[in-house]
Structure 1
Amino acid sequence: MAVPNITLNDGRTIPQLGFGTWQVADDIAEKSVSTALATGYRHIDTAAIYGNEAGVGRAIATSGVPRDELFITTKLWNSSHRKDAARQALETSLTKLGLDHVNLYLIHWPAVKYPGQFVEAWDAMQAFRAEGLALSIGVSNFNQEHLDDLNGATPAIDQIEMHPTFSQKAFRESLQSADIRPEAWSPLGMSKDLANPVIVEIAQEVGKTPAQVIIRWHLQAGTVVIPKSVTPERIASNFDVFDFVLTDDQIARIDAVDTGVRLGGDPLEV
């Protein structure tokens, strides 16, 4: 089955299942993204701060996949929120990626070290979209209070930490009500959620791996999800999630493992 596309609030679409590259070194990113593209992924997520945009770009260039079939996301780092710096940052990212535009450009964090500058960055992002340098624009790690400060266009995406033990269900539903699509980073809980007894039990019930169960849980919640792996077998396994459906009871049991405890950074502190 093909990966479903989700329509964003700007009328463009995003493949609901993508491939993440956080903490993947540049040379390894080239190999793992090449494997992902050969497997069937068409949505690749990177960021300036990951230091692997060049490797991602090399994988794209040698993949043989037409550009119009790819959905590429990258992100603006915290120190580049001023308008001129934001433009230079995007141009640098495009050069490294070997592209003339990205499908989605995100403000990576609201960045408390630079108070309020993300508002200026958002103005710049809207200009990039108007120029076609970024077809869609959004944010990452924004709480509601940060979203409320933005002017103009509504972000298409808010990419946030989200996994069974930190599900952010209320915020996720609030985003969806505001026509902002939630996207999950660390969707497997940095692999820690894979050992949760409830996840393991459900995996046994459906004859799938714990990772496949969690990815399916995200998909059925309407979340965009970008699992990461550098292991070819896991890259393929994480893509093989469209031949089963979790029951309402199984989803409720996964929902119930939420602890409300983050594994990554707090947007109010980073």
Structure 2
Amino acid sequence: MQYITMNDGHTIPQLGFGVYMMTGDEIRHMVPEAIEAGYRHFDTANAYFNEVALGEALKATGTPREELFITSKLFPQSYTTAQCGSDIDATLKRLGIDYLDLLLLHQPYGAYAEAWPALEEAVKAGKVRSIGLSNFPVHKIKEVMKVATIKPAVLQVEINPYWNQHELKHQLAEMGLGDVTLEGWYPFGHGDKGIMEEPVLVDIAQAHGKSVAQVILRWALQEGDVVFPKTLSAEHLRQNMDVFDFELTADEMARVNALPQHPYYVVPEEAPAFVLAQNDYSKQI
């Protein structure tokens, strides 16, 4: 496993396991497989409704807490100062842990500028070690920075060979946030067959005796990003971890980064209805 030291001094495993849209049963089946394969970084969210299952599954493996890196995220309904504090406590209770390694504001809507100081208070209280943002565009990051005394350690966004986020990294650097670690969702293009058949990626995969998926993950690692692919296959789980025994050449990295750029998902400026809905996170799957 490779690790990145974030701008707050904490380290984060560069490859993790995401549990987006996984049921409790799927998590209880896959987490032991993930631990056995070497995963220690797990990414969930209040809005995934599976924090209880993840916490129980991790506890059942007997893995020491200090070996784990656990991320969760707050949805906009939690963004008032008072609600944010109580929902952080509820998140810890659902996961069955005393602290989160990383807590993110999940969506860039609502009172996020009010929520950020509450995240900072959670850091000071020892409930959270690192804090960050998810899906935030640059102009909304600037709004957060107006009230921040702790810089975001992480920005979680879509990252894949068709959306490498080089422009975003440049913009962050111009804001004095060049040391923010980027985490990538949709590394495989949300199941897009086209990215798996991309000739450049296929050619590089054949040159290394690896799969296209492994080349994509290796590219992300060498980009300096954190990535957490989701899979319900134990075989793919192990294959995704088998990316530390080869490197892409500078020429291969350049070829990947020269691919045409387009996102698979555009984060809307205005909040979609599902983001504004009030959820009861005690109802877990």
Instruction: Report if TM-score (shorter chain) is over 0.5.
Output: yes
Kindly indicate whether the alpha-carbon contact (under 8 Å) linking 1:105 and 1:134 is maintained by their aligned counterparts in 2. Answer: yes
Return the letter of the residue paired with 1:55. Answer: A
Give distance in 2, aligned partners of 1:259 and 1:48. 31
Greater alpha carbon shift after TM alignment, 234-243 vs 77-86: 77-86
Give distance in 2, aligned partners of 1:54 and 1:199. 38
Q: How far did residue 173 of structure 1 move?
A: 4.2
Q: How far did residue 259 of structure 1 move?
A: 2.3
| Structure 1 partner of 2:139 | 145
Which of 75, 90, 113 is equivalent to 1:77? Answer: 75
Q: How far did residue 258 of structure 1 move?
A: 3.2
Give distance in 1, aligned partners of 2:139 and 2:86. 27
**RMSD across aligned C-alpha pairs, in angstroms?**
1.4
Q: How far did residue 201 of structure 1 move?
A: 1.8
Within 5 A, what are the aligned runs for 1:1-270? 3-111=1-109, 114=110, 117-150=111-144, 151=147, 152-175=149-172, 178-192=178-192, 193-260=195-262, 262-270=263-271
Kindly indicate whether the alpha-carbon contact (under 8 Å) linking 1:142 and 1:267 is maintained by their aligned counterparts in 2. Answer: no
Normalising by structure 2, what TM-score? Answer: 0.88
Give distance in 2, aligned partners of 1:26 and 1:157. 27
Return the letter of the residue paired with 1:171. Answer: L
Q: List runs of 5+ in structure 1 lacking aligned partners.
A: none
Q: How far did residue 58 of structure 1 move?
A: 1.2
The 3 A distance-change label for structure 1 pair 175 and 228 is: farther
Normalising by structure 1, what TM-score? Answer: 0.93
Q: How far did residue 265 of structure 1 move?
A: 4.2
CA deviations on 1:97-137 (whole Å, 9 max, x unpaired) are: 111111000000112xx2xx100110110001100111111
Which consecutive aligned stretches of 4+ in structure 1 deviate over 4 angstroms post-superposition? none
Return the letter of the residue paired with 1:54. Answer: V
The 3 A distance-change label for structure 1 pair 265 and 58 is: farther
Return the letter of the residue paired with 2:215. Answer: V
Return the letter of the residue paired with 1:169. Answer: H
**Identity between Structure 1 and Structure 2 (%):** 40
Return the letter of the residue paired with 1:72. Answer: I
Give distance in 1, aligned partners of 2:29 and 2:261. 35
Give distance in 2, aligned partners of 1:36 and 1:195. 27
The number of equivalent residue pairs is 263
Give distance in 1, aligned partners of 2:14 and 2:170. 17
Give distance in 1, aligned partners of 2:59 and 2:11. 22
Q: How far did residue 154 of structure 1 move?
A: 0.7
